[in-house]
Amino acid sequence: MSRQMTGAKMVVQALKDQGVEVVFGYPGGAVLPIYDEIFQQNDIRHILVRHEQGAVHMAEGYARSTGKPGVVLVTSGPGATNAVTGLTDALMDSIPLVVLTGQVPTFMIGTDGFQEADTVGITRPCTKHNWLAKDTDKLAETLHQAFHVATHGRPGPVLIDIPKDVQFATGTYQGPKQAKVSHYQPKVKGDIEGITDLAAMIERAERPVLYTGGGVINSGPAASQLLRELADATGFPVTSTLMGLGAYPASGKNWIGMLGMHGLYEANLAMHGCDLLINLGARFDDRITGRIADFSPKSKKAHVDIDPSSINKVIHVDLPIVGDVGHVLEDLLKVWKARGRKTNKEALAKWWGQIEQWKLKNCLSYKGSDKTIKPQYALERLEALTKDRDRYVTTEVGQHQMWAAQFLGFEAPNRWMTSGGLGTMGYGLPASIGVQIAHPDSLVINVAGEASWLMNMQEMGTAVQFRAPVKQFILNNERLGMVRQWQQLLHGERYSHSWSESLPDFAKLAEAFGCKGAKVDSPKDLDDAIMAMLDYDGPYILDVLVEKHENCFPMIPSGKPHNEMLLGDASTEGAIQAGGAVLV
């Protein structure tokens, strides 16, 4: 039903009609009419952030842990430009967001008015689509289209720039069912001939690998369940990108671990040596492929992706299938079962024998210490003490992020929130708040490095104000750990500006924010410190002082193929090739 209302009221009404429960934002002059409407209603909760970048990361955490689009409201000029990093992060990791920005009145656009910026121009490269809403009568339809575009096809962030006079003006409101969205209806069903060809390839494969990505999780819970059914029914090994962790359970019998630059030895060698690579919702990121010319050189490659532009963009594949992973997996299982559920069992048994040999390398082993907390040990203990809880994990970016991916196990999708494609330091703290707002009774832990954590530390104020009991687990090595590691291994140990100095006392910082914190530096005290963090009913910062120069292994050096990995001292140090030869 059409109704007359102001543009500001349309915004709030559209959010309600789209089922939005939470908005993350920061007010300013160009969005005050919308904030006035928010004040006059009680259906939508507003979370006041401390920085607009934090708002977008909170919305990302909310979206990734719920499957719903995250919503952000910020003002014009610096409010909008501060959101750009979060928008780019969401675009790279396919996170559905609707970002609403204020703008100067339409008659002032282009005059360099106070807090004016070309928001549409600035954000065009880092959004899936954006709009400048100049007509109040078309505003409601634009809002509904934005939600449709953000959540259909490959998910991503969209932005609507709303001039202040459009917010004040009166126009005709249209509901979601009246909005025209027929122009954007991405293909979700895969080509049945291609799916049948893939079923035939599954039947013949001798050394197959299921290579899974964030697209499986974005497709919804059914897709993860279908992936598990396919893997268990065929007996094929499953590996995953950083973004795909949890789509297949870490305790599953076919799980061979994460692959890529800091992936497991067995996963990377399986990828290198397979004869059938089935890519499900991943984009052949450079952190996965290594040297493209030597990536999985002897395999037939199938790629299932809802985004046609992702297929053959990086790696040429033999069998492209455009469609939603969930729909394609459903049809693939039907076709494969109808053909007799056949696999090459004898060859598959030999393949698993080879994989089990690679596992004996024990690539995550490390030299323990009874004096210094090793970061790997810290995450092992965190996993042991929290794995049976209703747990969500976010991370910052760096060594700690990779160790978290290696040592924490995820049994279900939507439990792991990290910045993959953009690698955004400062992501984890605000993301953890977004997750906690969505799941107020769950345990939410942000695994952080001290340098990343400081980038958006102001959001602890948001956590305290809104009583979000997020746990900040800081692995403090007083270094920019990943930068220092690369400088040691690849830049002749020239440590150019990679040591953190003038660090705060994180426990006192927690107190200053009005929450609680503690410091731990001894392995024997670590369990008690973690339990104190978990038992505290509120936001908590645990400063874990760890070994300063520990390196994160395995590691594929930049530009090297999968079968050349650096391993740590406790396994086999040096660059490893298939067959176990050590490169000197």
Q: Is 164 a catalytic residue?
A: yes
Rounded Cα distance, 123 and 114, in Å: 19
- Which is the catalytic residue, given 37, 52, 380, 550? 52
Rounded Cα distance, 147 and 322, in Å: 22
Q: Is 114 a catalytic residue?
A: yes
Which residues does 419 contact at the CB level (< 8 Å), separation at least 6?
89, 93, 395, 397, 401, 427, 428
Q: DSSP for 29-87?
A: GGGHHHHHHHHT-SSSEEEE-SSHHHHHHHHHHHHHHHSSPEEEEE-STHHHHTTHHHH
Contact between 394 and 447 under an 8 Å Cβ cutoff? The reply is yes
Element at 481 (helix H, strand E):
helix 481-490
- Which is the catalytic residue, given 455, 482, 533, 555? 482
**Whole-number Cα distances in Å, 68 to 63, 176, 398:** 5, 16, 27
- Is-cis flag, bond preceding 554, omega within 30? yes
- Which is the catalytic residue, given 13, 53, 145, 164? 164
- Which is the catalytic residue, given 21, 68, 108, 115? 115
Backbone angles phi, psi at 479, to 5 degrees: -140, 155
Backbone angles phi, psi at 325, to 5 degrees: -55, -45
- What pairing do the DSSP bridges indicate for beta strands 170-173 and 3-6? antiparallel
Q: Is 52 a catalytic residue?
A: yes
> Per residue in 255-273, is it b (16+ CB within 10 Å) or e — as a string?
bbbbbbbbbbbbbbbbbbb
- Which is the catalytic residue, given 114, 180, 187, 357? 114
Q: Is 115 a catalytic residue?
A: yes
Contact between 408 and 415 under an 8 Å Cβ cutoff? The reply is no
Write out the catalytic residue numbers.
Answer: 52, 114-115, 164, 482
